Structure 1
Amino acid sequence: MKTLKFGLFALFVLFTFSTIQSCSNTPNESRAKKDLTKMINEQSKGKISLVDFKKINGFKNTILGQEVYTIQYSYTILFNDQGWKLGNELSGYFGNFIVYDEEPNVGFDILNRKAKHFEKGEKYDLQGVFVYAKTDNGWEITKF
């Protein structure tokens, strides 16, 4: 009887471990935060920093045979220095994190982008989505 109980306990532990392993096989909140931090630092060259990050939702899907995982998140950024960004009122100014030192001359722009000035210390609460695709080398971002 003790052997049967131990066998059932061992089976339970093995099942639980394999379930946890399969659940953690997708990008998690800390991975998404790390990826967003890297993107912000590289594009803004340190003029913007990530001060808060929270995963809102995540789901796995298969599209045309490609396994993908989507993470929806909210985040707060801080301007560490003043600068200019390109954008407009319709699409916003945070499709990327590039910050210009001087006001860019946009001239004629088919996207009707304008330059907007941001002051040091300004904070913005934003939302975003990462779509990761499963590759031979692990999960890689395909869409920001």
Structure 2
Amino acid sequence: MTTHQRRGGWSRREIRFMTLVWHPNVSFVTGTICPDILEEKWAAAMTLRTAMLSLQALLAAAQPDPRSSLVAYQFRNQHDLFLRTAKHWTHAYAGGPHTFPEFDSKIQLLVEKGYAEDDARSVLSSENWNLDKATECLVS
């Protein structure tokens, strides 16, 4: 979390994940979270501890105001795929314990075509791991 002080008080509060996260309330591109915790629900008495507890609650129970509509759609309509994708991102970006050969092989195919691994993962995740649709997105 970062804050910037200006004359008369604090001007900006930001919580952002440095590690990429696949969650409806977190941008999978920038790592920023939905603004509720810091904007509408912010109180002067909020400490780092209360901000982290709010963040923990957000991660445990996705809120209806998504940061990423693509992830939110997958979360609501293809929850099993959402869970597998989130676990895959945990493995890929945070050193989680699982491998996902069905995902990894599709990423590798796109990498072999010259696309960056992170771009391939993002587009495949956004296209529900449909290789043809992901390739079409990358080409256009």
TM-score, normalised relative to structure 1: 0.25
Structure with bigger gyration radius: 1
Higher relative contact order (CA 8 A, sep 6+): 1
| Larger fraction in helix | 2
| Larger fraction in strand | 1
